[in-house]
Amino acid sequence: MIRINLLPRDGKAQRRPAFKFSGGDLVLPSLIFAATGLVIAGTALSQRTRVAALTHSIADVEAQSRALAPQIARVQRLAQERAELDLRLGIINKLQQGRTQSVRLMDELARCVPDHLWLTGATQDGASALSVEGVTFSNLVVSDFMSRLERSSMFADVNLDFADFDARGDRAVVKFRVTCKLTPDETAN
């Protein structure tokens, strides 16, 4: 089907645009755009200023570090030398403390030995254990020896490991081993 328009051209209804721009309508978006641009520019400027200040601060600290580097190296060297000296002094003090321990231990052990008992060996295990071997004619003498060790302030936890009869020449003897702990308070003096 064909349509024919019989109305004159002037009488046609003119179409109106759906949205009409005027000068007043562009002001608000322009202000928002300008404000956003100013905020972005202000933030960028603030960040550049902060970066420059931090870079300057880092440069100052590095310059101070370079200036103090010889003193820091000297302090570290002195601290290392002091640590070595402390180690040497510790070793010397340990040797000094243990210097008389063996002499005092043997002296106290000799005082605890009763008549007719002979020590054949004494072994110190570490700083706190002592093992004593010997021979005698009777188990009573071994018992007396153990009692004397227990009464001494240098020995504790006295135990009999073994006591066996043995023949030495034409005599019957008792071979024994006694273990005990050394009292640290007494042996340190």
Sequence-distant (6+) residues with CB within 8 A of 143 are none
Overall size of the chain counted in residues: 189
Across 96-142, where does the E strand assignment appear?
A: 117-125, 129-136
Cβ neighbours around 180 below 10 Å, total: 21
Residues 95-143 pLDDT 10s: 887 677 778 888 999 999 999 999 999 998 877 889 999 999 999 999 9
pLDDT confidence bin for 30, thresholds 50/70/90: confident
Cβ neighbours around 19 below 10 Å, total: 6
Answer yes or no: are the C-beta atoms of 183 and 153 closer than 8 Å.
yes
Q: Give residue limits of the domains in the chain.
A: 25-99, 101-187
In this structure, whether the domain defined by 101-187 belongs to CATH 3.30.420.130 is answered with: no
Cβ neighbours around 130 below 10 Å, total: 20
Q: What average pLDDT does range 54-71 have in this prediction?
A: 93
Plot region of 16 (φ>0 → left; ψ -120 to 50 → alpha; else → beta):
beta
pLDDT > 80? residue 82: yes
176 by Cβ neighbours in 10 Å (0-12 / 13-18 / 19+) ranks as: buried
pLDDT > 60? residue 62: yes
